[in-house]
Chains A and B, each alone.
Chain A
Amino acid sequence: MRSFKVGTSTCGVSAGADKVLERLLSLAAESDGAPVAVSETGCIGMCYREPLVEVVDGPERVLYAEMTPEAAERLYRGATRDELEAHVLIEGESGDRDGFLLEQHRIALVNCGHIDPADLDDYLAQDGYAGYRKAVTAMTPEEVVAEIELSGLRGRGGGGFPTGLKWKLSRASAADTKYIVCNADEGDPGAFMDRSLLEGDPHGVLEGMAIAGYAIGACEGHIYIRAEYPRAIRRLEAAIEQATARGLLGRGVFGGEIDFEVHIKQGAGAFVCGEETALIASMEGRRGMPRFRPPYPAERGLFDKPTNINNVETFANVPWIVRNGGAAFAALGTPKSKGTKVFALAGKVVRGGLVEVPMGMTINRLVLGIGGGVREGGRFKAVQLGGPSGGCIPASLGDTPIDYDQLTATGAIMGSGGLVVMDDSTCMVDVARYFLSFTQSESCGKCTFCRIGTKRMLEILEAICAGGGREGDIERLETLGRQISAASLCGLGQTAPNPVLTTIRYFRDEYEAHIRDKRCPAHVCPSLVSYSISEAACTGCGACIKVCPVDAITGRRKELHVLDAEACIRCGRCYTTCQFDAIIKD
């Protein structure tokens, strides 16, 4: 039987996968010939070639990229692979044509893009819930904790705290009730691996939570998930229902004495809730503000009960570790960072998407190799790692291996794994201003340095970008940054200055160009850019004249137009309107 699998994660749907799926489903419904199966799957990570459709016909498997409803219909009606040669991305067991998957090693993402996330049997066929069964039926909780400790798994949400140790502490807390919480409040702009995991393999995360529940002695789990992820929420709800109906979750799992129920809690949009104690406050229905630690959540967490909080990707690694043993996981990676890590590659990179690579791979290998380098011939300038808590690592440090401690040494952090590639058209001062404006508006306001300090830093950065930078601004930013890091209670404040401090460290010359020469080398900051019209390229079409809000451009039709630099307010509308590249930015 032929079967069609359409990748319908949020990224696929945004690229039009839902229309492809709809067409295939309606064709299958009206067909009276040989049965054809049409199903959905998650994201294989090749977001840059969405929508993807995999066609399985007996022993033949072909993955087609950039599909349209029309192309899918041709395939359905029997077009051969040769006729759709341009769309072919992967054939059989050989690697993909772009070499995107070649160096990847998939543990957390292993099922994403392969199984139907809505079908529990698909997951079971991939050894699904075998890890949980093994834990519950053949291991003591202490043995499970020891296995996780042996694996060297560290928190994938950003902090990098050893997961085994966290479990051990939660296990050691004596209480009648304990909780497992899955932190799915993925708020870092530029990171989407948790969403893809939940959409593509919800059972994998649920199984990880259930194993954690057995290990620490909790019979209740909560998933705190962003409300902005409706598709992931729907898939999780369906997965919980199916697993409960089969006795894999809920009361008396595997027909035994162990209970584990899972509930979904929707977040309401606050970046600070990624922090453990703020997340707990939010789950209890209060404003999501962090509190002083200790006591740590492992002793006193949700509703004052011991609570073990791990991130989505951390849980997704757990079933594999229990099935294959901690030593197998620890065999991958570097001495202090074991296993693999998922990265969301984005920005000015040719092949954007999700990749999972062994720890220790260099940034260059990841960006230039797997990612295919910089888009549209730009020059690789830096990567931003770790979102608003992270920093910019310059291309000159591209040989830095991906490892918690080596990345921290550069001033950036591993973070949740958002990796945004920047080229010479990116202004580093503007990037710093962008992140500061994000953290400043997300600061909960509890700590003075974070609340007021980030505001002051943002004002200085805005002034620099607007051409009002003064001597001493760089030093003021550095001092404020150090003070905010030292005097904030939670991770948000402690790391908020990182994007500014790392860009000053590696791109000080750009700051100086803005402050001293009133020049933005990347031509990004509007106030520091001037516009003129190229005599050679201008066709006199008049489009720029129409959009100029201050009538600074004059000229007759089909004659060279003239831009009055004095009157120009540098809004850039002429630049985005001109179809002939006749407006020059300088």
Chain B
Amino acid sequence: MKQMEHVSAPDPPALPAFGRALWRYRGQRGALIPLLQSAQETYGYIPKQAIYEIAGVTGIPPAEVYGVVTFYAQFRLEPQGRYVIRLCTGTACHVNGAPMLEETIEEVLGLKRGETDGERLFTLESVACIGCCSLSPVIMVNDETFGKLDARKLRRLLKRFKKAARQEERG
């Protein structure tokens, strides 16, 4: 029960969306995943705190909440970089050169799948298919999609984002 104290003194401070979602919870069945989604939308990841808050409100043990978090690919337990690169590893992208794109990203940014760099500028994730198969191979950088890539085009693209990220970081 000691963990329940966090509910009254949330830290990091509960931002509006997640707070409202918790407030609106009235014992609806099947609300756990939407609550986690709302936490992730608010914080960008699922902080440990949020797991305890959700557990406290729903009465689901924190271990079970954690089990659900780790089961689904969407949930992250670590904050992400400024730019999230989603490498499409769908079938069409795979046969059209996704492995080559992955190597290029590692070469330019030094990131493997699931990693974030030390400065939190970039995160590399993979996604099974973003449904733009006719533009394969494809990557997404935040919400923007880049298709018909080859190693050379990708190197140029990454260098551009690297420069932009550095500038934003400074300014």
Residues of A at under 8 Å CB distance from B? 10-11, 13-15, 47-48, 50, 186-192, 195-196, 227-229, 265-271, 282-288, 303, 344, 346-348, 352-353, 384, 387, 418, 420, 422, 426, 431, 434-435, 438, 444, 547, 571-573, 576-577, 579
Contacts and interface: CB of A to CB of B under 8 A. Distances in A.
A191 B128 CA distance: 10
A214 to B, nearest CB: 24
Nearest to B35: A285
B130 A347 contact: no
A223 to B, nearest CB: 14
A265 B36 CA distance: 13
A282 B33 contact: yes
Given A284-B29, A577-B152, A420 B130 contact: no
A576 B131 contact: no
Nearest to A384: B91
Nearest to A441: B73
Given A11-B135, A270-B71, A346-B136, 13 more contacts: A10-B131, A15-B147, A189-B89, A192-B129, A192-B131, A267-B74, A269-B74, A270-B72, A285-B29, A287-B68, A420-B91, A420-B92, A576-B100
Contacts of A229: 131
Interface in B31-54: 31-34, 36-37
Contacts of A348: 95-96
Given A13-B145, A348-B96, A285 B90 contact: no
A187 B68 contact: no
B127 interface: yes
Interface string B125-143: 0011111111110100000
Interface of B: 29-34, 36-37, 60, 67-68, 71-75, 89-92, 94-96, 100, 103-104, 107, 127-136, 138, 145, 147, 150-152
The 8 closest A-B pairs by CB, nearest first: A346-B133, A192-B131, A352-B134, A269-B73, A285-B32, A576-B151, A268-B72, A189-B90
A268 B33 contact: yes
Contacts of A420: 91-92, 95, 133
Q: Which of B30, B96, B104, B127 has the most CB of A within 10 A?
A: B30
Contact of A572 (B30, B96, B103): B103
Given A285-B30, A285-B68, A576-B104, A14 B132 contact: yes
Nearest to B135: A14
Nearest to B71: A287
B131 A422 contact: no
18 contacts: A10-B130, A10-B145, A11-B132, A11-B134, A14-B145, A186-B131, A187-B129, A189-B90, A189-B128, A192-B132, A265-B34, A286-B68, A346-B136, A348-B95, A348-B96, A571-B103, A573-B103, A573-B107
A10 B132 CA distance: 7
B136 to A, nearest CB: 7
A189 B91 contact: yes
B30 A268 contact: no
A192 B107 CA distance: 31
Nearest to A431: B95
Given A192-B133, A269-B73, A270-B73, A434 B103 contact: no
B135 A268 contact: no
Contacts of B30: 265, 283-285, 303
Contacts of A426: 95
A347 B95 contact: yes
B37 A268 contact: yes
Given A15-B147, A266-B37, A190 B100 contact: no
A524 B63 CA distance: 44
Contacts of B133: 47, 190, 192, 344, 346-347, 352, 420
Contacts of B136: 346-347
Q: Which of B30, B104, B134 has the most CB of A within 10 A?
A: B134
A192 B133 CA distance: 8
A427 to B, nearest CB: 9
Contacts of B135: 11, 14-15, 47
Nearest to B75: A268
A348 B134 CA distance: 9
Contact of A190 (B92, B127, B145): B92
B91 A228 contact: no
A400 B148 CA distance: 31
A39 B148 CA distance: 27
Nearest to B100: A576
A161 to B, nearest CB: 24
